[in-house]
Amino acid sequence: MLPLPVLEQAAAELVCYGESGMSVMEMSHRSPDYEAIIKDAEVKLRVLMNIPDSYKVLFLQGGASTQFAAVPLNLIGRTGKADYIVSGQFSGKAFKEAQKLGFDVVCAASTKEDNFAFVPTVSKDMIRPDASYVHLCFNNTIYGTKFPYIPDTGDIPLVADMSSCILSEPVDVSRFGVIYAGAQKNMAPAGMTLVIVREDLLDYAQEKMPTMLEWKTMAENGSMYNTPPCYSIYMAKLVYEWLLGLGGLEAMAKVNRKKADLLYAYLDGQTYYKAPVRKDSRSMMNVTFVIGNTDLEKAFAAQASACGLKNLKGHRSVGGMRASIYNAMPYEGVEKLIAFMEKFAKENPLP
């Protein structure tokens, strides 16, 4: 979901951006007009996330899934080893991708046997002391879990996939070696992938790696080694401006916690719906719940959609329902969801 003010501004500028005489979608990425857009996007993101000067900001293509390969190809050269924390589907895919490339990677911790109902507790003694990096997925969309803490990995760089929680709350960037995120969950339309990487980690790329996956090449070319995802970057810039106008990530976090607290309080206060995630691992962005009856869950998703409450069907791998309450979802949207849930429960008693 994108903020309405952002969509309205994009609509107003769709045909002609400023005094350029053309749409952003028509611009050369080498033009002064577009260079100003991408530079302004980086400046605003640095302010929003308080990104230290010692980190590079990259606006790339390929989705977060491409970074599953890019991460080991860029970092494994430090020691030849890497450790992964598997807390859901996407961290599992990242782990398998590194294995597929033939690198020495191990799963340091996982909650797979518990159906990923909570995130692992990770301590330094669980990490190989000679690992090049430790990888995790900070928020798990499918299972509705999030790390409530940043694991202490000592001097070993921590790499975090933050695709589904980026910009939802303040985060101490200096605690991470790399943060990456697909834009389409909480930042911009699909097409752009954000990578924030500490500069000292740019010199370990595999010699024969594809140029398009090499962070150092992209950093040296200002994310424009080739044509970047221009329009998605422009939309991200508008979202950054919207967030700054609200008061930044501290203000956004207060709104997000209020929304999540409302929905979790409802789930905890009744018996018709069950919240499978352990309370200490609950996501603020993705709230999962089940009825425990497949027919009723199908009816729930269909009736909710007919009422204008879209995309509530849970991921096919876990079933149930999932409410994604990203930044742009207003508090009133959660209130309407709860009202529908209450009505559905009364009209559809459990067999």
Average pLDDT over residues 195-201: 98
Measuring CA to CA, which residue among 191, 192, 144 is closest to residue 164?
Answer: 144
Average pLDDT over residues 15-19: 96
Q: How confident is the prediction for the chain on average, in pLDDT?
A: 96
Judgement on whether residues 253 and 267 belong to the same structural domain of the protein:
yes
Average pLDDT over residues 122-132: 95
Final residue belonging to a domain, choices 200, 229, 246: 246
Judgement on whether residues 208 and 291 belong to the same structural domain of the protein:
no
The pLDDT of residue 317 is 75
pLDDT > 90: what percent of the chain?
Answer: 97
pLDDT at 102 over 80: yes
Judgement on whether residues 253 and 114 belong to the same structural domain of the protein:
no
Judgement on whether residues 82 and 118 belong to the same structural domain of the protein:
yes
Average pLDDT over residues 90-109: 96
The CATH number assigned to the domain holding 307 equals 3.90.1150.10
| Nearest-angstrom CA–CA distance, 175 and 179 | 10
What is the number of domains present in the chain? 2
pLDDT > 70: what percent of the chain?
Answer: 100
Final residue belonging to a domain, choices 204, 224, 246: 246
- How confident is the model over 310-332, as pLDDT tens digits? 999 998 778 899 999 999 999 99
Q: Count Cβ neighbours within 10 Å for each residue of 322-349 and write b for 16 or more, e otherwise.
A: bbbbbbbbeeebbeebbebbeebbeebe
The pLDDT of residue 122 is 94
- How confident is the model over 151-168, as pLDDT tens digits? 999 999 999 999 999 999
The pLDDT of residue 316 is 78
Judgement on whether residues 288 and 186 belong to the same structural domain of the protein:
no
- How confident is the model over 23-74, as pLDDT tens digits? 999 999 999 999 999 999 999 999 999 999 999 999 999 999 999 999 999 9
The Cβ of residue 270 has, within 10 Å, a number of other Cβ atoms equal to 11
The pLDDT of residue 49 is 98
pLDDT at 207 over 90: no
Judgement on whether residues 166 and 255 belong to the same structural domain of the protein:
no
Judgement on whether residues 171 and 277 belong to the same structural domain of the protein:
no
Q: In three state form, how does the secondary structure of the chain look?
A: CCCHHHHHHHHHCCCCCCCCCCCHHHCCCCCHHHHHHHHHHHHHHHHHHCCCCCEEEEEECCHHHHHHHHHHHHHHHHCCEEEEEECCHHHHHHHHHHHHCCCEEEEEEECHHHCCCCCCCCCHHHCCCCCCCEEEECEECCCCEECCCCCCCCCCCEEEECCCCCCCCCCCHHHCCEEEEECCCCCCCCCCEEEEEEHHHCCCCCCCCCHHHCHHHHHHCCCCCCCCCHHHHHHHHHHHHHHHHHCCHHHHHHHHHHHHHHHHHHHHCCCCCECCCCHHHECCCEEEEECCCHHHHHHHHHHHHHCCCCCCECCCCCCCEEEECCCCCCHHHHHHHHHHHHHHHHHCCCC
Judgement on whether residues 240 and 270 belong to the same structural domain of the protein:
no
- Cα 25 to Cα 10, 33, 235, 249, 330: the distances in Å are 11, 12, 11, 29, 29
Domain interval for residue 103:
4-246
Contact 153/127 with Cβ under 8 angstroms?
yes
Where residue 346 falls among pLDDT bands split at 50, 70, 90?
A: very high
- How confident is the model over 63-86, as pLDDT tens digits? 999 999 999 999 999 999 999 999
Final residue belonging to a domain, choices 190, 223, 246: 246
Contact 68/45 with Cβ under 8 angstroms?
no
The pLDDT of residue 351 is 87
Judgement on whether residues 328 and 190 belong to the same structural domain of the protein:
no
Where residue 283 falls among pLDDT bands split at 50, 70, 90?
A: very high
Judgement on whether residues 229 and 292 belong to the same structural domain of the protein:
no
Average pLDDT over residues 95-111: 96
The pLDDT of residue 114 is 93
Judgement on whether residues 60 and 145 belong to the same structural domain of the protein:
yes
Contact 287/326 with Cβ under 8 angstroms?
no
Token digits of residue 86: 């598997």
Judgement on whether residues 257 and 212 belong to the same structural domain of the protein:
no
The CATH number assigned to the domain holding 221 equals 3.40.640.10
The pLDDT of residue 124 is 93
Phi, psi of 78 (to 5 degrees): -65, -50
Where residue 288 falls among pLDDT bands split at 50, 70, 90?
A: very high
